[in-house]
Structure 1
Amino acid sequence: MDGVTIIDHPLVQHKLSLMRKKETSTASFRRLLREISTLLCYEVTRDLKITHETIETPMCEMQAPLLEGKKLVFASILRAGNGLLEGMLDLVPAARVAHVGLYRNEETLEPVEYYFKAPESMADRLTIVVDPMLATANSAILAVERLKQQGASNMRFLCLLAAPDGLERFTKAHPDVPVFTASIDSHLDENGYIVPGLGDAGDRMYGTK
């Protein structure tokens, strides 16, 4: 699918399989999510622009590569997005953070916003939107719309799992926002959950299932 990248690194796939197991404990799920988010962050930032600066090592002077431009923004779709956010901040601790608070109406499956806070000068920064699951895509579509209203113009969406229907809806709504995911699963069930999936990521991460 155009605009979609599957991150198929063996370590990513191994950790994802462990997370899928229903017997995986809350503590283990949380640890695995933090670990896998660092690996996903590595892939989604692979083509960041760099510049060169003269530095002095203990041995000599050299032209050293450094990231170019303003610091990244990681935009977490609450609450489950924070599980990916923490591991990504381990890798890029200077990143700015936006929070988009959404919950899903279980009857209509439509997202309801309850919180939004984002940095200024979004237009000048690459924004990586994170949420473990891209299921119906309703929350992801709304979150990206809100970030665009804040001025974000260069965005990427990062998730663990995606459903084909959700991917189709998201890429149609936001064709300018590429998607990075570890897996495209089979389908959504009647309740809008990804199958085979891994259950509710937020519940499994916080022990509220």
Structure 2
Amino acid sequence: MRTHVVDHPLVSHKLTTLRDESTDSPTFRRLTDELVTLLAYEATREVRVNEVTIQTPVSEATGVKLASPKPLVVPILRAGLGMLDGMMRLLPTAEVGFLGMIRNEETLAASTYAERLPEDLSGRQCYVLDPMLATGGTLAAAIRFLTDRGADDITCICLLVAPEGVAALEQELSDLDVPVAVVTAAMDERLNEKGYIVPGLGDAGDRLYGVAQ
């Protein structure tokens, strides 16, 4: 598994404001959208393309177009939805599937409660959107779900990751014969006793959408 921390001043600037507890939900959503587009630029460096010949107003030219089957973008509900627009702005012709996963706050184990994905993902590159890689349980379960359906290349885009989550993900997927990459804005210090990333930015879903009472 490959982990890539994007080192760019704009990424760091936007992430700093996201971390600030005084940042309201509308601003948090906008900055998440902008930050994901920056991360997606790095995450799609290995996107599959085919060479094509086109006619410019002056002459023929050789270029590339996205290969078929098209990439599949998979936000993990609910917080991953806040990352979708930023990803699709960069990759508008990609297809979108949805995966609903929930983490048990006591056992930290992840389970699937909803999905809208093709039954056959053979030959598909998948881009998984999940704001936080904390314990690694949710992301590992999502990757297994996709590879069980045939996905053969997976890149995860996360706003933040914790060292414990990266290590757990590497261990959980050690037997997986599929390339997996994690692209993130920062590797934080650690997890606290509740499984939250420190210093982190709090609960991404709550900060994106508020807390339903």
Give the SS at the match of 1:123: coil
CA RMSD of aligned residues (A): 1.6
How far 1:64 moved relative to its partner? 2.4
Count of residue pairs brought into register by the alignment: 208
Contact 1:97 1:119 in 2 (8 A): no
Look up the SS of the partner of 2:69 in the other structure: coil
Q: Distance in 2 between matches of 1:120 and 1:91?
A: 26
Report 1:110-149 matches (<5 A): 110-149=109-148
Deviation at 1:193, TM superposition (A): 0.4
Counterpart mapping for 1:39-118 below 5 A:
39-118=38-117
| TM-score, normalization by structure 1 | 0.93
In the alignment, which residue of structure 2 is the partner of 1:32? 31
Between 68-77 and 124-133, report the one with greater CA deviation. Answer: 68-77
**TM-score, with structure 2 as normaliser:** 0.91
Contact 2:111–2:141 at 8 Å: present in 1 too? no
Contact 1:171-1:177 within 8 A present in 2 as well: no
Within 2, Cα distance between the matches of 1:169 and 1:134? 10
Give the drift of 1:121.
4.0
Q: Distance in 2 between matches of 1:154 and 1:64?
A: 23
Paired AA for residue 72 in structure 1: P
SS at match of 1:122: coil
Residues 1:120 and 1:94: Cα distance change in structure 2 (over 3 Å): farther
What letter matches 1:32 in structure 2?
A: L
Q: Does 1:186 align with 2:189?
A: yes
Cα deviation for residue 120 of structure 1 reads 4.6
Counterpart CA distance in 2 for 1:36 and 1:126 is: 22
Q: Deviations over 1:14-72 (max 9, x none)?
A: 11111001001100000000111111111000132433322122222222232333210
Q: Is the 8 A contact 1:134 1:163 kept in 2?
A: yes
Unaligned runs of 5+ in 1: none
Partners of 1:46 and 1:177 in 2: how far apart?
A: 14
- The 2-side partners of 1:153 and 1:64 are apart by 25
Residue 211 of structure 2: aligned partner: 208
Identity of aligned residues (%): 44
